[in-house]
Amino acid sequence: MSKIAFVFSGQGAQYPGMGQSLRDASSAARAVFDLCDSIRPGTSAQCFSGTKEELTVTSNTQPDMFAVEVAAAAALVEAGIEPDALAGFSVGEIGALAFSGALSVEDSFRLVCRRGELMQQASDAADTGMVAVVKLPPEQVEALAAQFEQVYPVNYNGPAQTVCAGLSASMEGFKAAVKEAGGRAIPLRVAGAFHSPFMGIAAEGLAEALKGYTFQSPKYPLYSNVTGAPYEGVETYPEMLARQVISPVRWQQIVQRLIAEGVDTFIEVGPGNTLTGLISKIDPSVKCCNVDSAEGLEKTIQEVTNG
């Protein structure tokens, strides 16, 4: 039997104007934006009218991404499309958490705002960067990274794409080593060394913030970036969500496990189509759609309902 997974976009996919046509087309999406505005005034305006530079600031990016992602998921359910499982890439995991019902949308939005602030502070504390390494297997990327001071594999995106984060002072040498090995290192539009030890102070702050939240069992299976598997129990959420910011994202592992468990349709909810592109490279046989606009919503409805 066919199964659907909603996958929630990660940081770096943001763009000016994101989510506006979705808000206009769906009352459920509009309600999400209104809720976010009631907690963090100006969130919708920043998504719809913010500059590229504003949207790249982590303390803005994360709440803005959350709003678009949860709005897109809500619009799909309003149209009669529900998932069988959920996963989110990095900050997308907080959107997936909210949509799953494990934490209310209100509390999840407050959490993602705090997460963005903490990760911005950690980013400002060190001169770091991130690159996507393509054309090389993960094991080779790990070996190359180990040759340089404080360079870490942080996103295992697919069989030939691994993102690394590290000190800017080490990155030029690392990129040269990647090129010499036959790969390519592509700088990413992010503000820090996410999912690496450089986020240690953010993890500590997040662990403290998470003490104030109460979690419920999710409505849908929710997959963890840290383990690549579903969360095991409500009591694990605070620890895993804090660990997530200093741990590699096991994206390929998540996708392969979802497919093994019967998922054959992935719908990316949120800005862009980065995740659907990665999923198509992991397994070209699965169906991939993305929803971040009214057009994307309508196209996805047609593709899913018409088989």
Residues annotated as catalytic are 90, 195
Instruction: Judge whether 175 and 185 are in contact, CB under 8 Å.
Output: yes
Instruction: Give the whole-angstrom CA distance, residue 189 versus residue 208.
Output: 28
Instruction: Judge whether 55 and 15 are in contact, CB under 8 Å.
Output: yes
Instruction: Judge whether 18 and 51 are in contact, CB under 8 Å.
Output: no
Q: Of the candidates 133, 178, 189, which has an alpha carbon nearest to the alpha carbon of residue 16?
A: 189
Instruction: Judge whether 255 and 269 are in contact, CB under 8 Å.
Output: no
Strands 263-269 and 287-291: parallel
Instruction: Judge whether 288 and 26 are in contact, CB under 8 Å.
Output: no
Residue 176's DSSP bridge partners are none
Instruction: Give the whole-angstrom CA distance, residue 244 versus residue 249.
Output: 8
Buried b (16+ CB within 10 A) or exposed e, 85-94: bbbbbbbbbb
Q: Which amino acid is at 33?
A: F
Instruction: Give the whole-angstrom CA distance, residue 81 versus residue 99.
Output: 13
Question: What are the CA-CA distances from residue 127 to residues 77, 123, 191 (Å)?
Answer: 42, 8, 9
Other CB atoms within 10 Å distance of the CB of residue 143: 14
Place of tokens 């994202």: 249
